Structure 1
């Protein structure tokens, strides 16, 4: 067992004695002591009070030192960017936000991120910046962190986001699409005991972040969960922005619902207008949202049968429509899914809400910093120096 593997036992914050670590791992106590020393020199582990003595000197306790390093988590939206500084426990230490258009291009947006990271790290001068996590509003190739043909991000296609931000920050950069990031954030903040969940973002587009067996499932190229371009029966020959016809997004995303209301003579320009109308009790808005829920439910029912999650979380702008959207989704999911798959299934609104993106970006960065591979690499570098 390497130093990085030993650290896996310590990173949840629970204190351990050297003897407990030796008993659990089967390593000699001298080996455990040497590896604890390396982790302490890295700053990742620190003494944690004293354990109860059974006679003689009390054994020392050791635990994760969350203040040793910090990360920056960034949520990039279509019209905004938000960055937060967090310690290794995920506690937010500071934040910055700006009204930036993602369509302004990568140089503008990523330049702001680099500058914001520099300003934020001054809030924790004793801690070392260890990583940056970024969520982008478009498809991301997971192996490279590059956006691939993102529909609302002109100039970003295959742009080397990782290298651009790494040059300005000097640390590893992790990039994923926004809905995967939201799924991580929702689970870390509110569903840490759930190993199988799906978060569905319903906004300008529709996508899903899938957590199965406690691990985010990205698929071979990072496109797992792209529900918005699944064909649904009611969409017929409606043209989608992807170029195909009959896509769920073309029928049930925010712009489609606003257009449907305009055809009924109800002034609505955006998904937020639709949500506001629903909250105001507008009957037409409630009807189109309920129908959208049924359309989404048609696709979610298939996903429930395939993935068998314990919880389906509805997030994104249209989640603000509340029970009207959820009711439509539930109606079809419980009708069309297998009884065993829905026996204990919960379908609920996001509790993290607008915080899910930055919380997930922080989780992405922290998980990298505390991974066995990263800790092992840092340990070897320390021993060789």
Structure 2
């Protein structure tokens, strides 16, 4: 590869192409203010790196037609892993999130960060080899984990089910084997990001709520995943609706949304009523069978969850509320909608849609992959990769 100057403008050029802000040579020249010669130099670097390609002719508004520039989505791959309580799903995807290869392992999260991440990185290298790719073809890594994440430090916080992960720099552990940009994300944020890009891309403001054994949410604001100052944005499950007389929550507080509406609290109430259940799946089996006590508890959970969502709707004013997770279905959504439209401000609900999520078993890992792509295509990351390629040539 030619040893060219690869200042920030190279990464910015790729950003304009990837976002669709400028997709022809002329548009890029106008957008950046670079000369045609300098722009050609920058684009040549991106072509040689395999990051962009030229496609069909653009329809001209005047003057000569020019070819459309786009990401070369098949040249590089991204590794993504969805770490669950008792399994890890690993995907190798292209830059659009389409799955190239997949592996499902039974390793529990309790095995600890070094063991789990060692398996993920080793599996990633195997998938690369199985698909005829080299480690240098990997553009980034995305990890979805069942805990809040401190993004500044690359570590999980309030680990809950992630015992043995405290104090570990997750990004550092991954990059010891795979030295590429790495994103560590809360599992609900990863799910919400995937739902947004796949099904609700035309909406800039989306609230995703996962209602399962626990409850959490992801906030998409102005088209971007909003994490908050400490990464704690969206922790709707621990909003305290009944702090004075509510039941004890798993977090140690009283009256949290989870203690009133999560899968584990429904299991608790069913057991108190004499039913032999131990998991959220057991409770939902009773709902599917039409058991009145289970159906009534789920509807009540929907109304309670809907109150918490209503407060978020009034604060965030999303266009769409997407409710996913194991509890989702007609009974839960009916209760959620009832409360959202009753308790939210009228202006916030004028055109609001409250819909059922469409996530599948791959969505968490897919969201992590798409977040990894976004990180890898940031100007600084692109410039760093181009410097590496230039030095290796």
**TM-score, scaled to structure 1:** 0.92
The equivalent residue for 2:108 is 101
Answer yes or no: is 1:273 the counterpart of 2:286: no
State the distance in 2 between where 1:244 and 1:58 align. Answer: 64
1:44 aligned to 2:81?
no
| Matches of 2:344 and 2:64, distance apart in 1 | 60
What RMSD over aligned residues (CA atoms) do the two structures have, in Å?
A: 2.4
1:200 aligns with 2:215: no
Shift of 1:288: 0.3
Distance 2:131 2:149 in 1: 31
Tell me, yes or no, if structure 1 residue 146 matches structure 2 residue 193: no
Higher alpha-carbon deviation: 250-259 or 18-27: 18-27
CA shift, 1:81, in A, is 0.9
Q: 1:349 maps to which residue? A: 356
Query: Helix, strand or coil: the match of 2:327?
Result: helix
Contact 2:145 / 2:186 at 8 angstroms: preserved in 1?
Answer: yes
Residue aligning to 1:372: 379
Separation in 2 of the partners of 1:227 and 1:77? 20
Say whether residues 1:7 and 2:14 are aligned partners.
yes
2:53 aligned counterpart, secondary structure: strand
- Partners of 1:380 and 1:259 lie apart in 2 by 57
Are residue 165 (structure 1) and residue 165 (structure 2) matched? no
> Which among 255, 261, 270 is matched to residue 261 of structure 1?
270
C-alpha separation in 2, matches of 1:15 and 1:306 = 34
Matched, 1:299 2:291: no
Q: How far off is 1:265 after superposition? A: 2.0
Q: State the alpha-carbon separation in 2 of the partners of residues 384 and 169 from structure 1.
A: 18
Aligned to 2:5: none
**Mapping for residues 98-137 of structure 1, pairs under 5 Å:** 98-126=105-133, 128-137=137-146
Task: Give the unaligned 5+ runs of structure 2.
Answer: 1-7
Q: Distance in 2 between matches of 1:98 and 1:268?
A: 27
For 1:336 and 1:135, locate their aligned partners in 2 and report how far apart those are by CA, in whole Å: 33
Distance in 1 between the 2:70 and 2:253 partners? 53
Compared with structure 1, are the counterparts of its residues 120 and 15 closer, same or farther at alpha carbon in structure 2 (3 Å cutoff)? farther
Tell me the equivalent position of 1:182: 191
Contact 2:96-2:370 at 8 Å conserved across structures: no
Q: Deviations over 1:202-224 (max 9, x none)?
A: 12221111111111111111111
Give SS of 1:147's match.
Answer: strand
Q: After superposition, what is the alpha-carbon deviation per residue over 1:305-331, rounded to whole angstroms, capped at 9, x for unaligned?
A: 111111111112222xx0100111111
Shift of 1:383: 5.5
Taking the aligned partners of 1:278 and 1:53, their CA distance within structure 2 comes to 58
Relative to structure 2, which stretch is displaced further, 181-190 or 115-124? Answer: 115-124
Distance 1:277 1:48 in 2: 54
SS of residue in 2 equivalent to 1:299: helix
1:315 aligns with 2:324: yes
Alignment partner of 1:20 is 2:27: yes
Which range is displaced more, 284-293 or 257-266?
257-266
Residue 245 of structure 2: aligned partner:
236
The 1:165/1:35 distance shift into structure 2, 3 A limit, reads same
What is the DSSP-based 3-state SS (H/G/I as helix, E as strand, rest coil) of the residue aligned with 1:93? strand
CA distance, structure 1, for counterparts of residue 317 and residue 91 of structure 2: 33
Residues in 2 aligned to 1:53 and 1:149: alpha-carbon distance in whole angstroms: 55
Distance 1:53 1:206 in 2: 50
Gap regions ≥5 residues in structure 1: none
**Which residue number in structure 2 is paired with residue 330 of structure 1?**
337
CA distance in 2, matches of 1:14, 1:94: 31
